[in-house]
Structure 1
């Protein structure tokens, strides 16, 4: 069953996010087979909202935890908080799955 991972950046760490972004994107590309969806959270004006969402197709919470801990953003201690929840795919890209 997929897992939803939500991250919350530490305050005033935009410089850390920007410095680590190329490695983060390379990590996502290398693991794209696990990604159902992912992206940064944004403010209404389009500026960075300080965190992200990932929906990963892994079998266990431990695998989801290992996925986020291997992310370069996690390795540079960008996150103040990370939540991991099981996720049931009801609709994806307009297709019903239940």
Structure 2
């Protein structure tokens, strides 16, 4: 099952994001190499600066998805104000379809 993480950054936490980006990218690269990561990228504010994240992963269940989200270096650094984890059905343009 694919789970999507919709993450909203805490206000005024851009520097936390920037400081932890290398570890976050390394974590996503590990998930990608394992075939777990489906897609990911930042949400942008009106000024074009990152203000959140969208991450889609393959996980056995919601508990496994939560574990992946909690182990993201951004989450460990306290970047996110809110993280919504939802199961998602990839209908259009799914490369595995």
Correspondence 1:31 to 2:31: yes
CA–CA distance in structure 1, aligned partners of residues 78 and 93 of structure 2: 31
**In the alignment, which residue of structure 2 is the partner of 1:84?**
85
Task: Give ranges in structure 2 of 5+ residues lacking alignment.
Answer: none
Work out the number of aligned pairs and report it. Answer: 95
When normalised by structure 1's length, the TM-score is 0.88
Instruction: Return structure 1 stretches of 4+ with deviation > 6 angstroms.
Output: none
CA–CA distance in structure 2, aligned partners of residues 90 and 21 of structure 1: 30
Query: SS at 1:92's partner residue?
Result: coil
Paired residues for 1:50-61 under 5 Å: 50-61=51-62
C-alpha deviation, 1:92, in angstroms: 2.7
When normalised by structure 2's length, the TM-score is 0.89
Coordinate RMSD, CA, aligned? 1.6
Task: Give ranges in structure 1 of 5+ residues lacking alignment.
Answer: none
